[in-house]
Structure 1
Amino acid sequence: MGRHQNPIDASRPARAHLATALRRVREESGLTYTEMADRCTVSAATLKRAASGTSVPKERTVREYIKACTSLPGGMPLNLVLTLHRAARMEERGILTTLSAPDIHLISDERDLSRALEVLYERDGARPMRDIQDRSDNSYALPMSSLRRIVKRRTIPADEQQLLAFVHGCGDHDHDQAWKEAWAKVTGTAAATALAPSAEWQPSFDLDHAYDGNTAKAAQPQMGKRSPLREQLSRLAREPETWTTVITVLSLWTAQQVASRGGQSRKTADFSAAKGARRSISQVPVRLIASGVQARDAYDLG
């Protein structure tokens, strides 16, 4: 079994619990560190240092340590030891106790999301970024540059896919829906969905009877008192044949304006005619509407 090991330093309780668990696993296996090293990819010195209690070993070392011992009956479950390792990492870093973040369901903005992701990262033991990427289930969505910026709280994930990749990389596979809802609130996609029309608009009055004498007045939506011009336009809409006169007059008037500007370029003439037509719209239709079909008498049509 080799020489007796030094007592474990109890000043760091979480680290001490991890070292105690590792020593117990080795004692139950009955192996020496040299024999353990033959069963894994880690040296005997590294394995011994992992169980010394003087520092927190890497997760890879812990996994290899357990792998070497659990090849024999009576080994401690790997998940339990990894839980102790995460606790020792959190204790060693001392950052988690200084952080505060809302519950996933209470995240409302980018700051909340960034803090929640930082807490998740620390609770997972602040593992190496390469490990997070490898465990993300989607390394293409989580490049190292983006991962580093997210961890350092310089940015938030670029999209929902990258968010879930980060969350999975930090060991959380049980709250995907909650993270998706938080992302929707932060980015405003939930509001956009809520404001999207859910059904085709339907008029609030009967179009079939909108112009049936007295029924029209009661059936139409109340938009305030109509101006005289609006009343005239409403009557014109019920007499489609008068639009022929309006279109004819405007067409001839526009042609006269273009002809009167001979010598100008076509572009200038077209622009001037269009400008004149726009200026006259508030005048010509009013006279036409006021006189109905007789508006033709107001112009010399030749």
Structure 2
Amino acid sequence: MRLIRYGEPGQEKPGILDTEGRVRDLSATLDDLGAASLGRDALERLKGVDVAGLPLVAEGTRLGPCVANVGNFVAVGLNYSDHAAETGAAIPAEPILFNKAPSCIIGPNDDVVIPRGSTKLDWEVELALVIGETCSYVSEEEALSYVAGACLCNDVSERAFQNERGGTWTKGKGCPTFGPLGPWLVTLDEIDDLQDLDMWLDVNGNRRQTGNTSTMIFNCAFLVHYISQFMILRPGDVITTGTPPGVGLGMKPQTFLKEGDRMSLGIKGLGTQEQTVRA
């Protein structure tokens, strides 16, 4: 299933993509696409819905973030070997974890706003996992059974805040609008292999990132297992799993986003996003 939230910010309703790629309204079945609707039993019930009989949503309706009321937004740094190399960083011995503020989450095509004092605004196409079941101390073998699905994320980053202001990376990762999610939450039964997904990102029509999840240092199952050793993951929590090479920080000379720039990005099977940078 490809699950969607649509409508104006703060008033989103749940939806589902039909076989022809059209958005259908699920609001008669679900209140929203959040914690209560992401567990195994809830998703199994959704499979029985007659999608073709649901009302169509008007074409062009805004898409919201594909999961509601995210409690914890965990991110993984330097998780692609080729991205670590371009930044001059050593391959981490264990996953680097930091948090993005849930308040940074926006729809897949909403504007990205330059925060006050920003000088080095950057892009990162990433695969994100959405937790479906409460998850604590899980094994790597069982880890993906706790995941409701996957989605596309742009881990928008302010590098001066992240790297030059001391403390943790969180400073440059959680500003408002720094977490576009969606367009779809794709259930894992629709994805052949999380570790073989092509991904890309363009800025103003120029290809910046080209990668594949096969070059992750720590794979998706290991990340869920690993993170669950340090915190309880709850339904609706999001883990964004790192980015391939091609970020502005790694370019020579370094290149960062400015007002009016347009980012386009996608992951095979998970849809595409487009954001315009605004002051």
Question: TM-score range with shorter-chain normalisation?
Answer: under 0.3
**TM-score normalised by length of structure 2:** 0.25
User: Which is greater in Rg?
Assistant: 1
- Where is the helix percentage greater, Structure 1 or Structure 2? 1
